[in-house]
Amino acid sequence: MERRRAIYEKDLNLEATELRLGLPGLDESEKQSSTSNSAKNSKKRPLSEMDDNNSSCVTENEQQEYAPPAPKSGFNKIFFFNNFRAQVVGWPPVRSYRKNIVQAKKPESDTSLGMYLKVSMDGAPYLRKIDLKIYKSYPELLKALQNMFKCTIGVYSEREGYNGSDYAPTYEDKDGDWMLVGDVPWEMFINSCRRLRIMKGSEAKGLACL
Amino acid sequence: MNPTLKKPRESVDLSELTQSTFPDEVLEKVLSLVQSHKDRNSASLVCKDWYNAERWTRTKLFIGNCYSVSPEIVARRFPKIKSVTLKGKPRFSDFNLVPENWGADIQAWLDVFAKVYPFLEELRLKRMAVSDESLEFLAKSFHGFKVLSLLSCDGFSTDGISSIAAHCKSLTELDIQENGMDDISGSWLSCFPDDFASLEVLNFASLNSEISIDALERLVSRCKSLRVLKVNKNVTLSQLQRLLVRAPQLIELGTGCFLPDLTSRQYAELESAFSNCKNLHTISGLWEATYRYLPVLYAACASLTFLNLSYATIRSGEFLKLLAHCPSLRRLWVFDTVKDEGLEAVGTSCPLLEELRVFPADPFEEDIVHGVTESGFVAVSAGCPKLQYVLYFCRQMTNAAVATIVRNCPDFTHFRLCIMNPGQPDYMTNEPMDEAFGAVVKTCKKLQRLSVSGLLTDLTFEYIGRYAKNLETLSVAFAGRSDWGMQCVLEGCSKLRKLEIRDCPFGNAALLSGLEKYESMRCLWMSACSVTMNGCRLLAQERPRLNVEVIKDENSDDSADKLYVYRSVAGPRRDAPPFVVTL
C-alpha cells in the first residue's frame, strides 16, 4: 500500500493529463510505475471480439485479456481510451448473447461486400449462396451455376426458354413472383432478383410456354 | 368518550401490545393475502405470533443472493413453499468479470427441496450454475412441477431441457433465456409427450439449434392456454404463420427470422394471421427484420405495449413507419441503428412510453460516428414525460442534455447511462459529467437504480450521497478521484442495497468507511480498485457476519483484485473454488 501511494504521487505529472490516442500501458515509464497491472500488460494479448463465438462464459485466463491499470488515486487520466475500449474486459457492459446478434448480422447488411443470394436446386439436400455482384452477364452466371450444381442448363431462347435442358434457372423477384432467368436485361435482373431456384426441366416447361 | 380518561401515549400498557388480538387462523388468513416478500419480511418482525403465522403461510420464496442463507435454514423456517426464486452470481459475471466455476450451484438447493417441498411448483433462477443432472433430478423429484425459468444461468445443455419436457407432466412455463448453455440439438421440443397440453409460456428464443417445426405446431395446437410463445431465429416466416393461426390468443410473441422468404400469397396469409392476434401486447424476435416484412406486424400493433427490437438492427426509416402504428407503447427496446432520428419519432409517436432501452449495435467499433447521441435522448424525454426506466448506450453526452432530460422526466426510477468511452467528459465543454448525474439525483426523487459513466470526479458521488435518498442499486465504472467519493455514497444513501464498482480509485479507507453499512446491504462488488488484502482482512475481522471473498489475479502482491462482500446467516461458503479466498 505504501509503495503504491509513493508511485501514485510520482505520477501526478504531465503524463497523466496528456491527451493520448494510444493504449495506456504502452508507455515505458507507465509499465514500470503501474504496479500489479504491469505484469498483466506484458503477458496478455488484446481480446479479439471474434473470440466470443458462443454465449458461454469464458474465463479471463482463456481470453488473455488486457486489463487497464486502475486510475491512480488523486488523478483521473484525462485521455480518450480509443483502442482501449475493445480490449477492456466486460466493457462496454453488453452481455455476450447480445454481442453475438450483431456480429452475426454484419456481413449480410453491408452491401458493399457483395450481394449474396440463396440458390436452391430441386433435389439437392441443401441450398447454396452466390454473390451476384461478381457476375457481369447471364452466360457468366449460368456457367457458375452449372459448375456449382454439376448440372446442365443449356441455352436460353426467348421463345423456348431453356427447353431441352435438364434444368432451368428461375428466380423470385421483388413482387414474390417466380420468373425465368434471362427474360429481362441483366441490370434489371440483378436489381430485382431475391433468390434463385434451379428447377427441373419438366417443371420449367410451364414457365417457358407462357 | 371523556377526554380525561384517555391515556396519554407514553403510558400505554406495553404488555397489551405483545399479545396478538387475533386468533391464529384469522392472522394466517390475513397474512396469506400478503404477496410481497418485503411486506412479509416486515410482518414477520412484529412479534412471535406474526412471525409464526407468516412462516406457515409463505408460499413464495425470494432469495436475492443464494449464499446469504442456506437451504437447510430455509427449509426449517418455511414449511410450505411452492415457488422459489434464486439469484446466484454477482451481476458483473454477465460481463465476464467472474471466472467459471465460481459457484451458485443449484443442486444443493434441490437436494433439500426434494425432501422438504415435494410439491414445489415453480423455480426461477438467475445467474445460477445448473447442470443437466440437476435438471433431470428436478424433473423427476417434483411431480406437480409447473414453472421453470432460467435466466443467465450456465452449465446445462439442451439434454437437460429434454428431461424437463419429458417428465414434467404439469408444466405450464418453460422460459430459457440468455444462458451459457450447450445447444446440442433441438430435439428437446420433441420430448413433450403427445398428450401434453398444459403449456402457457414457452420461450426458447435464445437457443440456436433447429427444432422440429411439426412438433412445435402440434404442441401449439394442443396447448389452448398458450399465451407466451417466443421461438428462435431458425423458425422462418412461413412457419411462423402456421404457428400464429394455431395460437391467435397469444399475448406475447417472439418471432423467428424475418428474412425475406415469402411469396406474395404467403405474405398476405402472414399479414392476416397477425391481424387475427387481437391480444398481442408484446412482440420480440424479429431477427433480420427489414422494411420488406415489418408491415405484416402493423395490424397487431394497436394494443402493443412492449416492442423488443433488440435482436433486429433496423434503421430509422422502417422504424419510423413501425412506430406510427404503436401508439400504446409503454416499453421499447431497440438498437442504436435507429439513430437520433428514430428516437425523435419515439418522442412524437409514443406518449405513454415508460421504459426505453437503447443497445449499441457495434459496441467495439471505434472511429465510426454512428449510433445515438444526446439529442436522441433529449427528444424522447421531450415527448415521453412518463419515462421511468432508461438504459442508454451512447458515444457522446453533455451535462446540459442530461439536465434537460430529467427536467422533462422527473419520475425516473431507473437511470442507466453508459457513455461507452471510459472516462469521457462532456464533449462540448470538456468538463466532467458530474453535473449531469447531480441533476439526475437532485430532480428524480424516486430514483432507485443508477449507473454512471463518463469522466466523473468525487463531486458526482457527493451529489449521490446527498440527494439520492431512495437509491438502492448503484453501478460505477472508471470514475471518481479518491476514497472520499465512495465514502459519500456509503454514508449518504440510506437505502443502498447493491453497490458494484470496477476500475475506480477507491481503496481501503473507502471500503472500511462502510463498516456500519454492509450488513444492511445485499452485496458489494469492487474490482480493479485500490483495495488490498489487508483492508479486506480488517473488514472481515470487524464484521464476522459478512462474507468477505476475494478473487485474486495471478500475481502475488497485496491487491484484492476482485472483492465480493455480502451478508449471510449461513456463514462462509463451503463450496468456494480454490480461486475464491474467504477472509
Say whether A91 and B507 touch across the interface (CB within 8 A). Answer: no
Residue B578 buriedness (CB in 10 A; 0-12 / 13-18 / 19+) = exposed
ipTM (interface predicted TM): 0.84
DSSP, res B109: H
Distance from CA of A177 to the nearest CA of B (A): 7
The owner of cell 380518561 is B5
| Residue B570 contacts residue B70 (beta carbons within 8 Å) | yes
- Cα four-point dihedral sign A107, A110, A112, A115: positive
| Parallel/antiparallel/unpaired status of strands B546-551 and B580-582 | antiparallel
Please report residues of B whose CB lies closer than 8 A to that of A88.
Answer: 422
Tell which wins on pLDDT, A96 or A145. Answer: A145
Please report residues of A whose CB lies closer than 8 A to that of B94.
Answer: 93, 95-96
Chains A & B: contacts with CB separation below 8 Å: 164
List B418's β-bridge partners, or say none.
B393
* Among A81-85, A132-136, B180-184, B537-541, the least confident range: A81-85
For B363, the closest of A84, A99, A178 (CB atoms) is A99
Query: How much is the pLDDT for A8?
Result: 37
How far is B435 from B464, CA to CA, in rounded Å?
11
Helix (H, G, I), strand (E, B) or coil at B525: strand
| CB of A4 less than 8 A from some CB of B | yes
Query: How much is the pLDDT for A4?
Result: 39
Say whether A39 and B555 touch across the interface (CB within 8 A). Answer: yes
How far is A182 from A170, CA to CA, in rounded Å?
9
Record the cell numbers describing residue B350, joined without a space.
409514443
Query: How much is the pLDDT for A102?
Result: 61
Phi, psi of B383 (to 5 degrees): -95, -10
Record the cell numbers describing residue A137, joined without a space.
452477364
Say whether A67 and B457 touch across the interface (CB within 8 A). Answer: no
Best A40, A101, A118 residue to mutate vs chain B (most B CBs within 10 Å): A101
| CB of B180 less than 8 A from some CB of A | yes
Say whether B263 and A84 touch across the interface (CB within 8 A). Answer: no
| CB of A42 less than 8 A from some CB of B | no
Strand segments, DSSP code E, in B278-397 are 282-284, 306-308, 331-335, 355-359, 389-394
How far is B219 from B29, CA to CA, in rounded Å?
39
Region A189-196: mean pLDDT is: 86
Alpha-carbon distance values, B537 to B120, B531, B558, B568 (Å): 40, 11, 11, 17
Please report residues of A whose CB lies closer than 8 A to that of B528.
Answer: 67-68, 70
pLDDT digits (tens, 9 = 90+) for B95-108: 989 998 999 999 99
The confidence band for A178, taking pLDDT boundaries of 50, 70 and 90, is confident
User: What is the set of domains in chain A, with CATH numbers?
Assistant: 114-204 (3.10.20.90)
How far is B190 from B210, CA to CA, in rounded Å?
11
| Parallel/antiparallel/unpaired status of strands A167-172 and A178-180 | antiparallel
The confidence band for A108, taking pLDDT boundaries of 50, 70 and 90, is very low
Say whether A57 and B264 touch across the interface (CB within 8 A). Answer: no
With vertex at residue B62, the alpha carbon angle to CA A93 and CA B527, rounded to the nearest 5 degrees, is: 30
pLDDT digits (tens, 9 = 90+) for B546-581: 999 999 887 768 888 999 999 999 999 999 999 898
Say whether A93 and B93 touch across the interface (CB within 8 A). Answer: no
How far is B198 from A41, CA to CA, in rounded Å?
56
Segment 55-94 of chain A within 8 Å of chain B by CB: 55-61, 63, 67-68, 70-86, 88-94
Distance from CA of B473 to the nearest CA of A (A): 16
Name the stretches of chain B with pLDDT < 50.
Answer: 1-3, 5-9
Say whether B504 and A78 touch across the interface (CB within 8 A). Answer: no
pLDDT digits (tens, 9 = 90+) for A137-174: 888 888 888 888 888 887 888 777 787 678 888 998 87
H runs (alpha helix) in chain A:
2-10, 14-17, 28-33, 36-43, 60-63, 84-87, 96-109, 138-149, 186-192, 201-208
| Residue B531 contacts residue B563 (beta carbons within 8 Å) | yes
Residue A69 pLDDT greater than 90, yes or no: no
Residue A30 pLDDT greater than 80, yes or no: no
| CB of B559 less than 8 A from some CB of A | yes
Q: What is chain A's alpha carbon radius of gyration, rounded to the nearest angstrom? A: 29
Query: How much is the pLDDT for B279?
Result: 94
- pTM of the prediction? 0.76
Query: How much is the pLDDT for B179?
Result: 85
Segment 7-36 of chain A within 8 Å of chain B by CB: 35-36
Let me know how long chain B is: 583
